[in-house]
Amino acid sequence: MIESFAHLDQLAAGRDLADVFLETDEQEHGIPAAQILAALRKRREVMRDCIERGKGGGQSMGKLVGNEAKLLDEAFRSGRTFLDPLTIKAELYALSVMGENSRMGVIVAAPTAGAGGVVPGMLLALEEERNVDPEKTVRALVVAGGIGSIIALSANISGAAGGCQNEVGVASSMGAAAVAYMMGGTPADSIQAAALALKNTLGLVCDPVGGLVEVPCVKRNALFAVHGLTAAQLALAGVKSVIPMDEVVEAMVRIGRALPRGLKETAEGGLATTATGCAIGSRLKDEANQRRAERAAERERVAHERKEAVSS
């Protein structure tokens, strides 16, 4: 088992990082590398399909979001964007995936559904914009997963456990390591990229408005996809995190414990308790009560009709 990032650094020096994770999985769980790669090829396809669907937009379940990807896509196509295409596509693809998630479409949780736009946004935008072989993207997904699994040895990957740093922060860190790998970086570069991304998300709270994975989640994924690309770029240029990755993860766990309950997915703090957040929360509650009352009335009507039919 790869116990820590320090251990990974030692184990992977001079080797292909994806191979290190694949071999470890084979030794530990008896799953052949070919089987893992085949499964990840399918995941990449699901990510691609989901991005294509998501670009079309559509209202979310809670009606708070939905057309962000469509708007950015239209602006991009008509030349109304000012950032470079890689950045725009990373944002666009992250928004597309999260739009689909908000409509209960099929996505790949990476590592969670709420943070599911970051990794595909970064990797698939890079693949397209830098003509990366799709097979390299598949191997980069192995790297992303491997990084996430080492973090998960000490941290619970959920906003409820430690805030959004544990979800979107971890996704950004996984994606940064994978991007460094795709761009020809060494395992040490990937670990540095992961550390730079994660340490700069520390303290990020989980404050979903109305308790739905819509606001701020959808747009947050787009912003942290770009954050991850930036971290990978810095690492590839030789910029190093002064705090080693294992210690960054430890800090994340401590911060997560210190965060009040209201900032850990309860919708009882942060953006969820702004005036607008509260108004939306009340509306959603009223609508849910209304639906419950309608369902109860329908059940009563059906029961009444059955009774009438039996007695006649």
Residue from the set 115, 123, 174, 179 that interacts with ligand SF4 by CB under 6 A: 115
**Maximum CA extent, the chain:** 84
Q: Which of residues 213-232 bind ligand SF4 (CB under 6 A)?
A: 213, 216-217, 220
State which residue, 109 or 251, has the beta carbon closest to ligand SF4. 109
Number of neighbouring beta carbons within 10 Å of residue 87 = 18
Q: How far is CA 128 from the centre of its chain?
A: 20
What's the min distance (Å) between Cβ of 259 and ligand SF4?
11
Give the residue at shortest CB distance from ligand SF4: 159
Angle between helices 134-154 and 118-129 (to 10 degrees): 150
What's the min distance (Å) between Cβ of 278 and ligand SF4?
17
What's the min distance (Å) between Cβ of 207 and ligand SF4?
6
Residue from the set 176, 206, 225, 245 that interacts with ligand SF4 by CB under 6 A: 206
Residue ranges of E strands in the chain: none
State which residue, 146 or 269, has the beta carbon closest to ligand SF4. 269
Q: How far is CA 263 from CA 71, 160, 198, in A?
A: 30, 8, 18
Q: Which two tokens stand for residue 84?
A: 């470079």
State which residue, 159 or 277, has the beta carbon closest to ligand SF4. 159
Interface characters, 245-284, with ligand SF4 (x: CB under 6 A): --------------------x-------------------
Rounded to whole angstroms, the Cα distance separating 121 from 67 reads: 17
State which residue, 92 or 118, has the beta carbon closest to ligand SF4. 118
Q: Which of residues 140-159 bind ligand SF4 (CB under 6 A)?
A: 159
State which residue, 12 or 115, has the beta carbon closest to ligand SF4. 115
**Residue for token pair 């739905």:** 212
Q: Which two tokens stand for residue 2?
A: 């790869």
Binding of ligand SF4 at residue 114 (CB under 6 A)?
Answer: yes
Binding of ligand SF4 at residue 121 (CB under 6 A)?
Answer: no
Angle between helices 85-102 and 33-54 (to 10 degrees): 90
Interface characters, 156-185, with ligand SF4 (x: CB under 6 A): ---x----x--xx-----------------
- Looking at residue 261, what DSSP letter applies? G
Q: How far is CA 222 from CA 90, 164, 218, 236, 256, in A?
A: 7, 14, 7, 22, 23
| Residues making contact with ligand SF4 (CB under 6 A) | 114-115, 159, 164, 167-168, 206-208, 213, 216-217, 220, 265
